[in-house]
Structure 1
Amino acid sequence: MKKQVKLLKLGDFQFFGQKTLYELKQNLSTIGQQLQKTEGELAQKAIDPSASMEDIQALQKSKDDLKARFDVIKEQHDTMEAEQKAKFKQQAQQQKLGLGSVEDPQQKVVEAKAEMIKAVMKNKAIPNDVLQALGDDNSTGGGKFLPKTVSNDIIAEPLVKNKLREISTFTQITNLEIPKINFTLDNDDFISDKETAKELESSGDLVSFGRNKFKVFSGISETVLLGTNTAIVNHVENALQSGIAAKERKVAFVETPKTGEEHMSFYSTENAIKEVEGEDIFNAITNALDDLHEDYRDNATIVMKKSDYTKIVKELANGNATLYGAQPEQVLGYPVVFIDAAIKPIVGDFSYSHYNYDIATTQFERDKDVKTGIEQFVVTAWFDHQIKLKSAFRIAKVISTP
């Protein structure tokens, strides 16, 4: 059954169903003017001896009708006005409270991250409640330091994995300095591996982590910036996490490191990790494992390219399909991690591969790519990768044939 809409008609003015507050104010003003005019005419007719009772009664009826209409509209107006005032008051309180009005802790962090990103992109100061929601004690005033929660999420929980995170050591300690070996004995000759002993004698028994600066850029289009807070946070964090992982891999496996980053690469001449040869990849890896001291070999992992492993399987299988279904650890006897950046297989105890971030001084800023017009959310971070004991690793090298 079709719902009928109540229609009130007065001259050229019609009132259909629900009106806006502005329309109600206009209608109230119009009928009020009509009512005032009718009341004036009625007063004139009442004192006019020539006026008939029929005219006076007609004006009285018109006045009563307008008064009834006026009262109906005024009631609607007052009710709607009170509701809107209450709504505006609630919104003002929520804005004043900021993130305090968000009850879900996880959602509060998402909202806070989005507000931080928006503030950076607009070159505005980050509100204190946003910094507090992200775990920043605001001791710096929040002017240039990345809140700890955001820094931790980007650095400690990357979406795109650097697979070294599965086997290397990661910390976030400012000015970190640690011993190369976790325990000592009251005996100068307790180190059974001669290469380790020589290394400690030549380079000392402490590792001091430096601060190497790098920047990661996350392009943000206007569409993303105007989207939901969840979409903004996911977009920015995914991009930054991917950049962090890429940087970690690059410094560890680059053959020609940048000046000042030589100590971070397994392949650098500065680290001079011992190379062990073999006539093919399989023999080079097994020879390298055998060359490790047992203290390191017991916890060894093989890091290599997937394509190198495929060569091994093809050579060992010799037409037997069974080997293709075996786990790499079953084939090589040790855990295997595939990283395509590992141009030569590296074997060893990767707990001696140690990344440390100085997140207390991580900075953020905005930039614009003038070529594309895309805004960039930029994170500047400081980290270091130290190979604490070079003697804990070997590089497998295939003998080149003439």
Structure 2
Amino acid sequence: MNLFQLKNALTTVGNDLHRVESEIAATAADPTIGIEKLRELKSQKADLKERFDLLKDQHDTLEKEQQEEIKAKMNQQGAKQVKGMASPDPKQRKVAAKAELYRATMRGREVSQEVKAALGGVKAVLADQESGGEKLLPTTMTTELLHEPFVKNPLRGHSTFTNEINLEVPKISFQLDDDDFVADTETAKELKSTGDVVKFGRHKFKVFAPISETILRGTDTNLVQTVDRALESGLAAKEKKVAFAAQPKTGEEHMSFYSVGLKEVKGASRLKAIKAAIADLHEDYRENAKVVMRYTDYMDIVEELANGNATLYNAQPEQILGKPAVFCDSAVDPIVGDLSYSHFNYDLPVTYERDKNVRTGIEDFVLTAYIDHQIKLKSAFRIAKVETTP
């Protein structure tokens, strides 16, 4: 039987079942009718109920199969209709696949397997993943968003970045059979008091990329650039915010250079404070140390040293400060140290969804991620502060 015939049969048997149930109620309420009649009706009801259940199982199974076939055909047709997916240029195919992912998400369509495959597939689905896996961001997109250096985040390319679930790492990269191999007594005390392993947590946050209908209907390139730029900027902003927060959120205190309890080194001027901080580091960290500071503070130092001599303005920061500089406007007080001990980790697969801003009517492409920033060794860093005169 086909689905139409099964629906008709279900209706017929269902009507008979309802009729018999009504007749049983009427018969039971009439004491003049013999009990044998009631037993006969109950037997008919059991027979009809069994027939109805069998037909319903067949109907539901066939209906589900047909729905899956229709869904697969729609996805296949949707993938074929994606402009650029047939291009011989792999970059063009990737842009087209990204654009289709964004459009499908914003319009409530399922993303085809062909599009996901073009973007590298998706990572393994966790058993407790709320989305069930259908909203996982494709692997190559996750890699690009989390691992490629972004100009807007100065710490990228200097700090360590990973994307691992339940990450635990040693605070130091090697050990010797001699327990006293750590030459820096400050580091030895820190390891003794806090342990030699860092465990990363999960701090959930969302990035919203507003997309107007004009952008959604525009070219693939413009759509992809708009969404990618928004997501990258959002991730970079979150990373900088947690790393340099003067008053971090509850539970995020350990992420900020300024609230984790780094040693402060003071000097009569900002330059002297920076040089004193560099000198105060143990040689194990001083070798690879960098100075994270605001560009305006650096220019004030150069201007003070130059005293009308334009030559210093062309000098490299390392020649002025003694160590390479990483400029970040969020670094109110310069951070001096080995940035490899600053470690950002994104836990769990990154997911995506859509959300409508009821105030503006513009819909957002929403990315959900879980971040943690650990300063693996506080002894690898110093904060350079200018002495305040009473």
Identify the match of residue 125 of structure 1 among 110, 119, 140.
Answer: 110
2:36 aligned partner: none
Q: Over residues 241-275 of structure 1, what are the superposed CA-to-partner deviations in whole Å (9 max), with x where a residue is unaligned?
A: 0111111111111110011111110000xx20000
Q: Following TM superposition, by how much is the alpha carbon of 1:331 offset from its aligned partner in structure 2, in angstroms?
A: 0.9
Q: Over residues 294-351 of structure 1, what are the superposed CA-to-partner deviations in whole Å (9 max), with x where a residue is unaligned?
A: 1100111011111111221222223333222222111111101111100000101111
Provide the rounded CA distance (Å) in 1 between the counterparts of 2:304 and 2:89: 57
Provide the rounded CA distance (Å) in 2 between the counterparts of 1:201 and 1:145: 40
Q: Following TM superposition, by how much is the alpha carbon of 1:110 offset from its aligned partner in structure 2, in angstroms?
A: 1.2
1:338 aligned partner: 327
| 1:241-260 equivalence runs, <5 A | 241-260=232-251
1:113 aligned partner: 98
Q: CA RMSD in A?
A: 2.0
Provide the rounded CA distance (Å) in 2 between the counterparts of 1:296 and 1:138: 36
1:220 alignment partner AA: I
1:381 aligned partner: 369
| 1:2-401 equivalence runs, <5 A | 97=80, 101-137=86-122, 140=125, 142-157=133-148, 159-268=150-259, 271-358=260-347, 360-401=348-389
1:178 alignment partner AA: V
- Over the matched positions of the two proteins, sequence identity in percent amounts to 60
Provide the rounded CA distance (Å) in 1 between the counterparts of 2:93 and 2:241: 35
Q: Report which stretch shifted further, 384-393 or 158-167.
A: 158-167
Provide the rounded CA distance (Å) in 2 between the counterparts of 1:247 and 1:228: 29
1:326 alignment partner AA: A
2:39 aligned partner: none
Q: Following TM superposition, by how much is the alpha carbon of 1:102 offset from its aligned partner in structure 2, in angstroms?
A: 3.9
Q: Report which stretch shifted further, 365-374 or 216-225.
A: 365-374
Provide the rounded CA distance (Å) in 1 between the counterparts of 2:247 and 2:124: 40
8 Å Cα contact 1:158-1:242 kept in structure 2:
no
Provide the rounded CA distance (Å) in 2 between the counterparts of 1:138 and 1:288: 43
8 Å Cα contact 1:159-1:238 kept in structure 2:
no
SS at match of 1:382: strand
SS at match of 1:373: coil
SS at match of 1:165: coil
Provide the rounded CA distance (Å) in 2 between the counterparts of 1:355 and 1:303: 16
SS at match of 1:255: coil
Provide the rounded CA distance (Å) in 2 between the counterparts of 1:154 and 1:191: 37
- Aligned residues between the structures: 308
Q: Following TM superposition, by how much is the alpha carbon of 1:138 offset from its aligned partner in structure 2, in angstroms?
A: 7.7
Provide the rounded CA distance (Å) in 2 between the counterparts of 1:200 and 1:349: 17
8 Å Cα contact 2:357-2:363 kept in structure 1:
yes
Provide the rounded CA distance (Å) in 1 between the counterparts of 2:109 and 2:89: 26
Provide the rounded CA distance (Å) in 2 between the counterparts of 1:255 and 1:368: 33
Quickly say closer, same or farther: Cα 1:281–1:159, change in 2 above 3 A: closer
Provide the rounded CA distance (Å) in 2 between the counterparts of 1:96 and 1:381: 27
Q: Report which stretch shifted further, 361-370 or 138-147.
A: 138-147
Provide the rounded CA distance (Å) in 1 between the counterparts of 2:177 and 2:123: 46
Quickly say closer, same or farther: Cα 1:139–1:297, change in 2 above 3 A: closer
Higher radius of gyration, 1 or 2: 1
8 Å Cα contact 2:337-2:382 kept in structure 1:
yes
Provide the rounded CA distance (Å) in 2 between the counterparts of 1:152 and 1:101: 24
Q: Over residues 206-263 of structure 1, what are the superposed CA-to-partner deviations in whole Å (9 max), with x where a residue is unaligned?
A: 0111111111111101100001112111110011101111111111111100111111
Q: Over residues 331-379 of structure 1, what are the superposed CA-to-partner deviations in whole Å (9 max), with x where a residue is unaligned?
A: 1111011111000001011110111112x52111111222222111110
Q: Following TM superposition, by how much is the alpha carbon of 1:280 offset from its aligned partner in structure 2, in angstroms?
A: 0.9
Report the TM-score when normalising by structure 1.
0.73
Q: Which consecutive residues of structure 2, in runs of 5 or more, have no partner in the other structure?
A: 1-75, 126-131
Ranges of 4+ aligned residues in structure 1 off by more than 6 Å: none
Q: Following TM superposition, by how much is the alpha carbon of 1:95 offset from its aligned partner in structure 2, in angstroms?
A: 5.8
Q: Over residues 31-51 of structure 1, what are the superposed CA-to-partner deviations in whole Å (9 max), with x where a residue is unaligned?
A: xxxxxxxxxxxxxxxxxxxxx
Provide the rounded CA distance (Å) in 1 between the counterparts of 2:301 and 2:89: 52
Provide the rounded CA distance (Å) in 2 between the counterparts of 1:201 and 1:306: 37
Provide the rounded CA distance (Å) in 2 between the counterparts of 1:181 and 1:274: 19
2:57 aligned partner: none
Q: Over residues 8-67 of structure 1, what are the superposed CA-to-partner deviations in whole Å (9 max), with x where a residue is unaligned?
A: xxxxxxxxxxxxxxxxxxxxxxxxxxxxxxxxxxxxxxxxxxxxxxxxxxxxxxxxxxxx
8 Å Cα contact 1:131-1:138 kept in structure 2:
no
SS at match of 1:354: strand
1:90 aligned partner: none
